[in-house]
Structure 1
Amino acid sequence: MYKIPPELKKILKKVSTLPGVYKMIDKDDQIIYVGKAKNLRKRVHTYFQNGKTTLPKVTVMRDKVVNIETTITRSELEALILETNLIKSLRPRYNVLMKDDKNYVYVKIDQKEDFPETHIVRRFSRDGSTYFGPYTSADSILRTLKALQKIFPYRSCQGEITEVTPGNNIFKHLSRRAPCLDFYIKRCDAPCISKITKEEYHKHIEAICTILAGNYHHLEKDWQEAMQRAVHTKEFEKAAKLRDRIQALQVLSEKQYATLTSGHNQDVLAVAKDKEHVVISLFMVRNGHVVQTEHFNLSDYAKGTDPAQIISAFMQQYYVDATSLPKEIVTSIAIPEKKLLEDFIGGIKGQRVQILLPERGERKQLMEIVEENAKLQLESSKKAWEREYMFTTKALEDLQKALKMKKLPRRIECYDISHISGTDKVGSMIVFIDAKPATNMYRTFTVKELAEGINNDFASLQEVLSRRIKYLDANYRQKKKRRKEKSDTVSLPQVPDLIIIDGGKGQLSSVIRVLKAELKAGTKATLPMIVSLAKREEEIFFPGKKEPLLLEKDSPALFLIQRIRDEAHRFAISHHRSLRSKKMIRSRLDTIPGIGPKNKKKLLTTFGSVHGIRDATMQELVTCVGEKLAETIREQL
């Protein structure tokens, strides 16, 4: 029987009865769950009651809770909005989450531009651009855009093109006399050399937006009428182009699953789950036609949750960033707090929305199709999930066991050095969180203490790890902040569970020696477990131990640390190459004080080369960069 710890009992007694949001916190001060309630005290107490109906997820989670924080709101709707924002930003471990939301993509078109570009982006921003999505498959939407480019040629080049007058366009930062290959293969109408006007180009973009929004059939009807008019006026070339467009559009729309006679705009959601996994299938119906289907894998912590709560949590997260909202959302199961969720979703987009449970007719028939698709997606994804489990959770558990660690190594850092004969020495720090690369946490170090040309990997690693470990000291971070020095506040302050050095016994012992010296010198930090991985036999060395550890050749733990080591090596080499290439393309202008990237670009755009700058008159230089800098350039060149 579960007993509430005394400290937690005191916290529970102080919880308010007002509406608001609660955050459950573990011993590492990490927020592991966020929830909302109309009555905070009543809701929070339900997690700590004994009973047969307690879900396994709740049993596991409550054992980890050491503190509860609450935020009072004015209403339950306000609490729901705050809860959604917190889940999105904090991604608590025990909340139902859309898996790998960074893998979802949007199509972005900025229609405010004269000649808009079409981008595939990973994030939805409220920047005034038109967005479509999210799509779960980047390949699928890329194929759709390529098909659309055949019908409506649009530019794929980067850079701003503006129309001065119709038929006179300017491509900023690039002077182009001839179009690129896309023009000759009929994939672009070459606005860069004024082959198309702004008005004509925007008609293409509007048609692309109409199709991406799912309005195929209005467009097809308009084209049919335009084609008939062209035939009557004997404009056969125009009629042929419209015929080709209609045929291409029909090919695109053939992917539709079903048609509803009602002509409604609605999203149809169904959930499928087994003991281990959860999938939500979404069919987007626009003007009575299913124009898009998506399947979303939810986090493992959804598996012990009621299906109604899963769909409710999904809608909270999905519709915050969804680019279109229908009038109806049809779900496979009745949703608790339906009115609250309708107000929340409708409030985001500024329109009324209904959440419906189909009972008969077309909606019910379509729901059966969506449910069947969800089940098929669940089955087809099982092999991929099993493989992911082997490479992530199983690998971490095996590594914890092999290294005899007290807790799972959720954050692993790996370090490597790259240089050529001691020049341009750099160190790399890569981070894996839950056995997956966290690229936003990667960091590079330029080795400063060793002179150029001195090849000493031991000393380089010592410098890199010494600088890294200082960031675990709060006093060191505060000192840098007071001095207004550049300081990392995202990755380096986080404590790793495991550090891997790319190297053998010598590299490991030299690093341990310098880190112990740092601690003796006053750095207040606790060293995590540190090991090194030697390449030849894949031996794992431990501090103070002569014999290395050899993992089984087919061990998931070995595959994981090899992946981590190889990634550190790749990252170090790529940064080293970047430094060398910058040196190689370094201009004579870089040595002149006062010339930054902007002035350098302005000078080279105006005069073409350093030789052209040297031959320019004083008046020309003054006009370009001002009198003071012009005099400096004259002196230096």
Structure 2
Amino acid sequence: MSSFKSIIINLPHSPGVYRFLDDKGGVLYVGKAIDLKKRVSSYFRKQKNQPMRLQKLIEKTVNIEYTVVDSELEALILETNLIKSYRPRYNILMKDDKNYVYLKITTNEDYPRITVTRQVERDGARYFGPKASAGELYRTLKWLKKVFPYRHCGLDIRFKGDSTEPLRTGQPGEGGGPFKVLVTHKVLKYPCIDYHIKRCVGPCIGTVTPEQYKKFILPIVHFFEGKTDEIVKDLKEKMQQAAFGKQFEKAARIRDQLLEMEHLMAPQRVSSPDGIDKDVIGLVTEGGMGYVSHFMFRAGKLKSQENFILNAVHLESGAELEDAEILYAFVQQYYEKATDIPREVLLPEPFPQAKTIEEWLTTLANHPVKFFHPKQGKSKALIQLANDNAHSFAKKTQVSWQNKEGKGVEDALKGLQKILKLPKLPQRIEGYDISHLGGQDTVGSMVVVEKGLPKKADYRHFKLRTVQERIDDYAAMNEVLQRRLRYLEPILSGMRKAKKKEIPQIEKILTREKLDTDDLIPHKILIIEKRKKIVGIVRTKPIEKDANELASLWVDPSCRGEGLARELVYAVMAKQRKGKLYVLPCQTLIDWYGSLGFHDVKEIPKFFEDKATRCVNACLIEKPVVMVYRFPKGEGDTSLTRKPHLIMVDGGKGQVSVAAATLKKAKLSIPLIGLAKKEEAIFMPGQSKPLILPKESAELQLLQRLRDEAHRFALKYQQGLRGERLKS
């Protein structure tokens, strides 16, 4: 608090937008306030039960910036734009804009096109959206194209019926029409296949005038406006006219079009009794995520229903989102993108900023917009319907982690405990896999399932060092598990901090071994002692804030091969916990440090230049290698410090044997299995015969999904590394 006093003292009692910044100037959080001084000060008051997300935000904030505006409405608009621009880590966010699509109808052209786009532009076209599912929109357009043969190509077609310019007209054999058109931006050969199969009327070859063509476009506009009654009425009239005129084939085609429209209109049979244009929002929060179901009623009928996910990207373990926060974030971010804003929005609960949002939306929509929180009646029933759909959507997003026949994951976990004879219910299961391409870019993955559902925040990649340019999945699995399990290993007996009286002896050993002896400080040195004899030494030197050098590492020759050096380095890592740990290893230890998670530094840091030069001269090498271990951001890696109830590796008896040996070496007792792809057999340590479960077993399906997720996660990382290597 003291570091922000000067900022808070100078804050005005005015409306505005504030930004919390991290130590690199990055925007952590954007908020608005009617009174900047009161709002920002409230973050730094001692409060009971303050949300963990806000606690972490304050811990990471090193500076605060603010912008004063004239009104709360201006503050809301600026906040919306800044959130869209910065996408701050601690704001609640909808999925990135690139995940949403819009329907674009180029009504400003002579022959409008219908396309799907991810961006709204001020180009005179008509837009509908945002839509959460591009696939669903494409399916709808496919059905509409059977009824209304519109064009979706990229050709620029202009009507020139009375022009004397050289023009494109229909050529013999192409089914050309009588009207003159000018075609530019010729991105394809025309007329295309759609014309020949009667999915497009062929404006590119002059078959129709703009007025005739727009008769196909207007019903599509009406459809996305929700005015489907007009479409059906028009089609019925045309069918009757064709029948009276004894044009029975035409009448049959229109009848088929009506049937297609009935299919498309199926979702619109849900209705709002008052006939008013309104949106209805349902909300469910599960596992730190907000699942929103958005119903759009137009002219009393359900025009569309979209689902959205919101979360705080850096939501800490144990933190939860408040419903009011999620509603505010959704309404703000959705309607900023929306192309159709109704007069009424029904909410499952009120939120404090509703009046300001109403004022803002009224400005955007050019008509009054009001929020309502119905507590009874038919409007309440619509809210319940939306909430039910939000709940179903939340479950659907997790369905790949549940039994396809509906058996809950909790039952599957209980079944695993019984089948595998586990001492505890496997609430946390970790799955591991290795990926490479012919021995190159070998990587490992760790994926985590908690209570039967994926916990993606705890997923981890491992870029391997000891296994490159060769295929050795066993060695690769050993390295991955060794690096992961070090977070759980008990501290080695006999390891302690050095005492002041031991410094002369330590200096003598390091001098004899030609190791760094500068600034020997007892509390920066760890030793291993056996029978009152020092057999291992490691020491660090501070370089800059949150950065140290692993300056000296030594193990007595009589104890080498026992893993003491690894234990010493891990102890240093456990002590430091954040920032960076550098080392300038001799050539023979580069791969060994790599196996511990250190990576080469592309450019030698300035603080290492002198030492690197001395290394070149002393060791007669051309170029020294500086390596760094980067600790996870935050207060240690909570994913790796949590002990799993079950470890599963991708593979059979061989992989399980390697994993079991690694666990034994780490002195850890954790249940272990392997799942082999060929027969989906489960292997366990010490058992010669695998366990075969029925293919329809919920327990097996849970393990299969975990295995497949570990494979997917490893493969994606490996492909990324390969792509980077090929570019360099």
Question: With structure 1 as the length reference, what TM-score do the two structures score?
Answer: 0.64
Establish whether residue 394 from structure 1 lines up as the match of residue 547 from structure 2.
Answer: no
1:222 corresponds in structure 2 to 234
Q: Distance in 1 between matches of 2:102 and 2:354?
A: 28
| 1:72 paired residue number | 68
Normalized per residue, which structure has more strand?
2
Change (3 A) 1:571 1:188: farther
2:288 aligned with 1:288: no
In the TM superposition, residue 266 of structure 1 has moved relative to its aligned partner by 0.6
Q: Residues 202 and 101 from structure 1, CA distance in 2 versus in 1: closer, same or farther, beyond 3 angstroms?
A: same
Q: 1:47 to 1:176 in 2, by over 3 A?
A: closer
Deviations 1:128-158 (A, max 9, x none): 2211111111111110000011111122332
Contact 2:346 2:372 in 1 (8 A): yes
**Equivalent residue for 1:171?**
183
Q: 1:121 aligns with which of 102, 117, 121?
A: 117
Amino acid at match of 1:242: I
1:588-599 map, 5 Å:
none
- 3-state SS, counterpart of residue 256 of structure 1: helix
Please tell me whether the aligned partners of residues 601 and 627 of structure 2 are also in contact (alpha carbons under 8 angstroms): no
2:81 is aligned with 1:85: yes
Do residues 343 (structure 1) and 369 (structure 2) align? Answer: no
- Per the TM alignment, residue 331 of structure 1 is displaced from its structure 2 partner at its CA by 0.6
Going by fraction, where is helix more abundant, 1 or 2? Answer: 1
Q: Secondary structure of the residue that 2:283 maps to in structure 1? A: strand
User: Aligned residue for 2:717?
Assistant: 564
2:42 and 2:373 mapped to 1: Cα distance?
28
- Indicate whether 1:162 and 2:158 are aligned: yes
Distance in 2 between residues matched to 1:349 and 1:35, nearest whole Å: 24
AA of the residue aligned to 2:55: T
Provide the residue aligned with 1:200 in structure 2: 212
Q: Which amino acid aligns with 2:384?
A: E
Contact 2:18 2:30 in 1 (8 A): yes
Per the TM alignment, residue 348 of structure 1 is displaced from its structure 2 partner at its CA by: 1.8
Contact 2:290 2:321 in 1 (8 A): no
CA distance in 1, matches of 2:228, 2:601: 68
Question: How far 1:565 moved relative to its partner?
Answer: 3.4
Amino acid at match of 1:64: K
What is the deviation of 1:198? Answer: 2.1
8 Å contact kept, 1:104–1:135: yes
Identify which of 105, 109, 119 aligns with 1:109.
105
Q: What does 1:103-502 align with in structure 2 at a 5 Å threshold?
A: 103-165=99-161, 167-174=179-186, 179-256=191-268, 258-300=270-312, 301=315, 304-382=320-398, 392-396=456-460
Aligned counterparts of 1:159 and 1:266: Cα–Cα separation in 2: 37
**What is the one-letter code of the residue matched to 1:565?**
Q
User: What displacement does 1:159 show?
Assistant: 2.1
Contact 1:308–1:335 (8 Å) recurs in 2: yes
What is the alpha-carbon distance in structure 1 between the residues aligned to residue 230 and residue 211 of structure 2? 21
Size of the alignment, in residue pairs? 459
Contact 2:461–2:714 (CA under 8 A) maintained in structure 1: no
Aligned partner letter, 1:347: T
| Alpha-carbon distance change, 402 to 91 in structure 1, aligned in 2, over 3 angstroms | farther
Greater shift, 104-113 or 122-131, is seen at 122-131
Code of the residue aligned with 2:392 in structure 1: it is L
* Contact 2:155/2:187 (8 A) holds in 1: no
For residue 516 of structure 1, what is the amino acid of its counterpart?
I
Q: Could you tell me whether the CA contact under 8 Å between 1:106 and 1:133 is conserved in 2?
A: yes
Seen in structure 2, the aligned counterparts of structure 1 residues 103 and 134 have a Cα distance that, compared at 3 Å, is same
Letter in 2 for 1:279: Y
Q: Following TM superposition, by how much is the alpha carbon of 1:72 offset from its aligned partner in structure 2, in angstroms?
A: 0.4
Instruction: Give the 3 Å change call, closer, same or farther, for CA 273–398 of structure 1 in structure 2.
Output: farther
- 1:327-356 Cα offsets, whole Å, 9 max, x none, are 111111123232211011121222211111
Unpaired runs of 5+ in structure 1? 405-495, 499-503, 531-551, 577-637
Q: Distance in 2 between matches of 1:151 and 1:91?
A: 41
Aligned CA distance change for structure 1 residues 572 and 516 (closer, same or farther; 3 Å): closer
Measured in 2, the distance between the counterparts of 1:296 and 1:175 equals: 35
What's the CA shift for 1:38?
0.5
Q: CA deviation at 1:173?
A: 4.9
Structure 1 residues 373 and 231: alpha-carbon distance in aligned structure 2, compared to 1, 3 A threshold:
same
Q: 1:209 to 1:401 in 2, by over 3 A?
A: farther
Normalised to the residue count of structure 2, the TM-score between the two structures is 0.56
Q: Which moved more, 1:217-226 or 1:66-75?
A: 217-226
CA displacement, residues 373-409 of structure 1 (integer Å, 9 cap, x when unaligned):
11111222235697799685223487899879xxxxx
Counterpart of 2:94?
A: 98
Secondary structure of the structure 2 residue equivalent to 1:83? helix
Partner of 1:41: 37
Alpha carbons of 1:518 and 1:123: their partners in 2 closer, same or farther (altered >3 Å)?
A: farther
